[in-house]
Amino acid sequence: MKLDSKIPEGPLAQKWENYKAGQKLVNPANKRNLDVIVIGTGLAGASAAASLGEMGFKVKNFTIQDSPRRAHSIAAQGGINAAKNYPNDGDSVHRLFYDTVKGGDYRAREANVYRLASVSNDIIDQCVAQGVPFAREYGGLLDNRSFGGAQVSRTFYAKGQTGQQLLIGAYQALMRQVNAGTVEMHTRTEIVDYVIVDGKARGVIARDLVTGEFSRHFGHAVVMATGGYGNTFFLSTNAMGSNGSAAIKAYEKGAAFANPCFAQIHPTCIPVHGEFQSKLTLMSESLRNDGRIWVPKKKEDAEAIRAGKLKPTDIAEDNRDYYLERRYPAFGNLVPRDVASRAAKERCDAGFGVGTTGLAVYLDFKTSIERLGENTIRARYGNLFQMYEKIVDDNPYETPMMIYPAIHYTMGGIWVDYELQTTVPGLFAAGEANFSDHGANRLGASALMQGLADGYFVLPYTIQNYLADDIRTPRMTGDEKEFVEAEKAAKAKFEKLMSIKGNRSVDSLHKELGLVMWDFVGMARNKKGLEEAIEKIAAIKKEFWTNVKIPGSSEGMNVELEKASRLADFITTGDLMARDALNREESCGGHFREEFQTEEGEAQRQDDKFAYAACWEYQGEDKAPVMHKEDLTFEVVKVAQRNYK
Amino acid sequence: MENTINLTLKVWRQNGAKDKGRFETYSLENISTDSSFLEMMDVLNEQLIGEGKEPVAFDHDCREGICGMCSLYINGRPHGPDDDVTTCQLHMRKFKNGETITIEPWRSAGFPVIKDLIVNRSAFDQIIAAGGYTSVSTGGVPDANAIPIPKPDADEAMDAASCIGCGACVATCKNGSAMLFVSAKVSHLALLPQGKVEAARRAKNMVAKMDELGFGNCTNTGACEVECPKGVSISNIARLNREFLKAKLAD
C-alpha cells in the first residue's frame, strides 16, 4: 500500500493557494455528465452534496434517516470555531492552526490543518448568508465565546443548538438543489458496499430500509461522509443510528484506516443511571465557560454524598476541590477535553466521586449566577439546563450538575491525502469519517468547522481535480459484472445473518462489546488489557456469527437486521481500535497508555517512535491487518509537551 | 434508590402501509422510573425478541431531543404527558405504577404509516425544497459582519428556527395542518435581512406545496403551539399570513 499525502509545494500558508492555482477544472458542459455519489447528509455530506450540485455535477445523496435534516451533526451544541478575530483578542489563521495541531497533541498533518484554519472564516460568511441565526451583540454584530484549548474567543454559536442551525443551513441548501434537480435524494437507504471497477470506486450497493430491496448506483466518484464510530462502545453521545459501517466497508475494499485508537472521551456528559441506559447525553463544553468543576476535598464528604446523607450545597467553599483550577491554573476549567476527562477519572478513582455510583463530578454555576445573574445564565444555556432537568430531575440553577466522561467523537478514521481521497482512487472521505485534522484529540467547536470545511470549501475543488480525467468515462448502467457481484455478496451477507437464528439479541451482544471497549480500550489503556480485549472481541465475534437472533425476515423493514449488520462492523472496528492502541506505545491526546505518563500523571508522547499516523490495511476475514506509517513532519509548529498549567 | 413500576402497554402494530393495523397489549415489569420512555420501549423489544416475536418498529435517533426523529402519540398526546419535550426526553417518572399506556403513530393524511409506529414525513422535506432556503450558492458571499442585524430580530429568528421538524404540530391538529412548521421556516428567514429578499416568493411557494401535499387548513385552535417540543409560537402563523398576503397582493 502506498501512502502519498500529496501535500502541495510551497510555504505552509501558500499551499492551498498553490494547489488551487494548479489544479485541473471541469467545464460546465462536462459537469452535467459526471455523477458523484455522496453517502451521508450530516454537515460534511450535505454541504458537499449541495455545493457539488450547485456547481452542476449530478449528485446522488444517501441517508439512513427519514430526512437529511436528522443527521447527528444536529446534536452539536456549543459552537463552531473560526479565525475571524472579531473580538480583537489576538486570533489569526495561524493561531487557530497552531492551537488545533497542539490540541491534537501533534498527531495531525500540518498542511491539512492549516487549510482548515484558512477556510474557517469563509464558513461563517456562508452560514450567515444562508440565514443561520448566530448569536449577536446589541450592536447587531456577531458574538463569540471561548472554548477549551484556546485563549481567545473564536467560537460562533446559535444558543446551545449550533449544530442544528448549521445542519439546517446545509440541509436547506441541499433541498434547494433537490428542487433544482441536480441532487437526487435517497432517504431511509443504507450503503452496504462499494463497487470497484479497474481499481477505482465507481459506485455503491444500497439497501432500502423500508422494503429491504437492494439497488446498484453508479458514480464517477464516491464521497463517504458518514461520521464516526463512537457507537462501538454502545454507550456514547452518538445517536442510536450512528454507525461506522460505510467506513469499515471502505476499509475492506482497500481504504486504509488511520489511527483507529484515537477516540475522544468528552468530559461533560450526564452520568450513567442503569443497565437499560441506551445512550449518554452530552452537556456542551461551552458550560465550562461559566461552570466550575469540583469534587469534595474530604473523602468522608464524598461518601456521605454518595449515601444520600449530604447535598452538594451542604459542602462549604473551603471543602471543595476545584481540581482543574488547582492543577491547571492557566486554562482552569477550559483545559482540552482529554485532560479534563482524565482529571475527572483520577478524582473518582481516588474515591472523591459523587452521585450514587461515585462516577460523577460536579459542574457548578453558583459563582457565575452570583456574578452575572440567573437571567444571563438562562440566556446562554437555557436549553441545556432544561435538557438536564428533564433527564435527571434536578434543577441546575439551584444545585450543581453531575457530569462524567463518555465517548463522544472519533479522531481516527479513513486515511485521506491532502485531496481527501482515500487509498482507493475515486473514493473520498469527509468530516468525522476521515482522520484528517484533529490528530489525537479534537478541540471543542472544531468538528462543525471541519465538516463544513470539507464539504463547502475543500471537496468541491479537489474532486474536480480528480473528475477532470474522467470526462470521457461514460456512465455505467449498473449491469456490469462488478456491480452484479457486489450486490450478490451484500445480499449473501444479509441472508447469512438471517440464517443464524441463535439466542442472543443484537443489543445484548453490542452491550457486551461496549463493556469490553470501555474497560480495556477506554480512558486508560495498558498492554495486558489490550491483549485481553483483542481476545474478548474475537470471542464476541464468534458468538455473534453463531448465536445472534434476528426475528422477522429480510424482506420489508427489519430494524434488528439493520442493527445486526452494523454490529458486525462495530466488532471489526473494536478489534482495530484495540490493535492500534496496543501498537501505539505512548500516550497522546485521547489515547492514554498507563505505561507512558509523567510523574504528575500527564500524557507522555514518544515522538522519536510514534510521530506517525498508523494506517491499517485489511488483509481478509480473520487475518490480522497490516500497519503502514505516514510519518508526520512539523515544519512550522514547535513540537513540545502540551502545557495547560 | 431506584424506583420501578409495572405497566400495561397498548401498542399500535401495522405491518406495512397496506396492513389495516391493530392494537396489541403487552405487560412490562420493573421499569426504572429514571429511564426514558424510549429505553422502556427498548426493554419491551428485548422482551419480544426473547419470545421470538418481532420487536415494535419506532423512529428514534439522537435521544437528546434535537433530531426530531421520535414521533410517538402517547395517551393521546404527541410526545406524551410532559411539556416542551420530545418522546426521547420523556421519562418514566411521569407514569404511575400499574398504568396502561396507549402508544400510537402520528396520525395524519400527510404522514402515512410505514410500519408500526413509524410514519413517512418526507412531505416536510418537499415543503422545504419548495422554498425554505435563501437562494445563495457556496462562495462569493459578503463578510458575516457586513450586515448588522438587531439582536431582537436575530433572537426571534433563532426561536423560529429551533423547529426540529418532528411533526407533532401536524399530529395534534384536528385539521392535520402544517402551518406551524411552515410558518416557523418562513418567519426564521423573513426576520433576517439575508432571507427577507425572497420572503414573499418563499411564503407563496411553501404554502402552495403544503396545500398540494394534503395538509389541512389552520383554524387557530392553538393545539400545535401547546404540543411543540421546542415551544415554537403561533405568532409565526400570523407572520406567515402577512407574508403570504403581501405575496398575493403583489401578484
Predicted confidence pLDDT, tens digits, chain B (251 residues): 468 999 999 999 999 989 999 999 999 999 999 999 999 999 999 999 999 999 999 999 999 999 999 999 999 999 999 999 999 999 999 999 999 999 999 999 999 999 999 999 999 999 999 999 999 999 999 999 999 999 999 999 999 999 999 999 999 999 999 999 999 999 999 999 999 999 999 999 999 999 999 999 999 999 999 999 999 999 999 999 999 998 888 88
Question: Does residue A497 share a domain with residue A394?
Answer: no
Strands B73-74 and B100-104: antiparallel
CATH of residue A390: 3.90.700.10
Residues of B in contact with A355 (CB under 8 A): none
Q: Mind giving me the DSSP string for B54-107?
A: PPPP----SSSS-S-----EETTEET-SSSS--GGG-BGGGS-TT-EEEEE---
Q: pLDDT at position A273, please?
A: 82
Determine, for residues A278 and B38 on separate chains, whether the beta-carbon distance falls below 8 Å: yes
User: What's the start-to-end Cα distance of chain A, in Å?
Assistant: 42
Q: Does B151 touch chain A (CB under 8 A)?
A: yes
Phi, psi at B151, each rounded to 5°: -55, -45
By Cβ distance, the residue of B118, B138, B161 closest to A54 is B138
Phi, psi of A23 (to 5 degrees): -75, 160
Task: Decide if A502 contacts B52 (C-beta within 8 A).
Answer: no
* Contact between residue A506 and residue A550 where contact means Cβ atoms under 8 Å apart: yes
Three-class DSSP category at A368: helix
| Domain-located, residue A350 | yes
Establish, for the pair of chains A and B, how many residue pairs have beta carbons separated by less than 8 Å.
Answer: 219
Q: Assess contact for A549 and A502: CB atoms under 8 A.
A: yes
Q: Which CATH number fits domain B122-250: 3.40.640.10, 3.40.50.970, 1.10.10.10, 1.10.1060.10?
A: 1.10.1060.10
User: What is residue B248's predicted lDDT score, i.e. its pLDDT?
Assistant: 86
Calpha distance B97→B33 (Å, rounded): 10
Select the residue of A128, A135, A163 nearest B144 (Cβ to Cβ): A128
CB contacts of A448 in chain B (<8 Å) are none
In Å, what is the CA distance from A456 to each residue of A450, A576, A612, B138?
Answer: 10, 31, 28, 6
* Alpha carbons A230 and B65: distance in angstroms, whole number: 19
Q: Chain centroid to CA A41: how far?
A: 14
What confidence tier does A645 reach under pLDDT thresholds 50, 70, 90?
Answer: confident
Q: What is the CATH number of the domain that holds A526?
A: 1.20.58.100
Nearest CA among A90, A70, A362, A478 for reference residue B166: A70
pLDDT at A72: 98
pLDDT at residue A19 in the model:
98
The pLDDT assigned to A379 comes to 85
The single residue listed with the C-alpha cell 470545511 is: A453
| B214 contacts B109 by C-beta, under 8 angstroms | yes
Average pLDDT over residues A135-148: 93
pTM of the model: 0.97
Closest-CA distance, B97 to chain A, in angstroms, reads 18
Nearest CB among B1, B115, B195 relative to A308 is that of B1
Query: What are the DSSP calls for A272-312, one per residue?
Result: P--TT-----B--GGGGGT-EEEEESSHHHHHHHHTTSS-G
In residues, how long is chain A? 645
C-alpha A146 chain-centroid distance? 21
pLDDT tens-digit map of A409-455: 999 999 999 999 999 999 999 999 999 999 999 999 999 999 999 99
Cell numbers at A473, concatenated? 468515462
Mean model confidence pLDDT for chain A? 96
C-alpha A239/C-alpha A278 separation (Å) is 10
* Residues A41, A225: Cα–Cα separation, whole Å: 7
Residues of B in contact with A226 (CB under 8 A): none
CATH number of B4-114: 3.10.20.30
In chain B, ranges of CATH 3.10.20.30 domains: 4-114
| Cα–Cα dist A521/A517, whole Å | 5
Spell out which residues of chain B touch residue A555, defining contact as CB-CB under 8 Å: none
Burial class of residue A94 (count of CB atoms within 10 Å of its CB; 0-12, 13-18, 19+): middle
Average confidence (pLDDT) over A154-175: 96
Q: What is the pLDDT of residues A448-493, one digit of tens each?
A: 999 999 999 999 999 999 999 999 999 999 999 999 999 999 999 9
**Residue A407's pLDDT band (boundaries 50, 70, 90)?**
very high
> Could you say which of A140, A164, A179 has the minimum Cβ distance to residue B129?
A179
Decide which of A353, A384, A406 is a domain's last residue.
A406
Domain that holds residue A315: 268-406
Judged by CB atoms closer than 8 Å, whether chains meet at A387 and B60 is answered as no
Gap between the Cα atoms of A593 and A581, Å rounded? 8
Q: Where are the alpha helices (DSSP H) in A393-446?
A: none
Strand partners, A203: A195, A218
Instruction: Tell me, yes or no, if B129 comes closer than 8 A to chain A by beta carbon.
Output: yes
CA B224 to each of CA A125, A507, B156, B168, B239: distance values in angstroms, whole numbers, following the listed order: 34, 36, 19, 7, 16
Q: CATH 1.10.1060.10 region(s) of chain B?
A: 122-250
Which residue of A165, A168, A284 is the best one to mutate when testing the B interface, meaning the one whose CB has the most B CBs within 10 A? Answer: A168
CA–CA dist A5, A462 (Å, integer): 13
Which sequence positions of A are flagged as catalytic? 337
Give the three cell numbers for residue A450: 471541519
Burial level of B33, CB count in 10 A (0-12/13-18/19+)? middle
Quote the pLDDT of residue B21: 97
B82, B122, B145 ranked by CB distance to A67: nearest = B122
Question: Which of A406, A435, A470 is the last residue before a domain boundary?
Answer: A406
Pick from B82, B85, B127, B78: nearest CA to B105: B78
Long-range CB pairs of A5-10 (<8 Å, 24+ gap) are: A5/A109, A5/A111, A5/A417, A5/A418, A5/A630, A6/A417, A6/A418, A6/A419, A7/A109, A7/A111, A7/A418, A8/A111, A8/A418
- Residue B141 has what DSSP assignment? P
Q: What is the pLDDT of residues A588-599, one digit of tens each?
A: 999 999 999 998
Question: Which residues, 6 or more positions from A574, have their beta carbon under 8 angstroms from its beta carbon?
Answer: A232, A513, A516, A517, A521, A533, A537
How close is the nearest chain A Cα to the Cα of B134, in Å? 6
Q: Which of A89, A593, A107, A99 is nearest to A335 (CA)?
A: A99
- Contacting B residues, span 8-37, partner chain A, CB-CB under 8 Å: 15-16, 32, 34-36
Helix, strand, or coil (residue A376) = helix
Give B 187-206 residues with CB within 8 A of chain A: 188-189, 192, 194-195
Residue A245 lies in a domain: no
Residues A502 and A605 in one domain: yes
Best to test chain B binding among A172, A498, A548 (most B CBs inside 10 Å): A172
Contact A552 B38 (CB under 8 A): no
Per the domain annotation, does A200 fall within a domain?
A: no
Angle at alpha carbon of residue A298, lines to A295 and A302, rounded to 5°: 55
pLDDT of residue B1: 44
Q: Does position A233 have pLDDT exceeding 80, yes or no? A: yes
**Number of domains comprising chain A:** 2
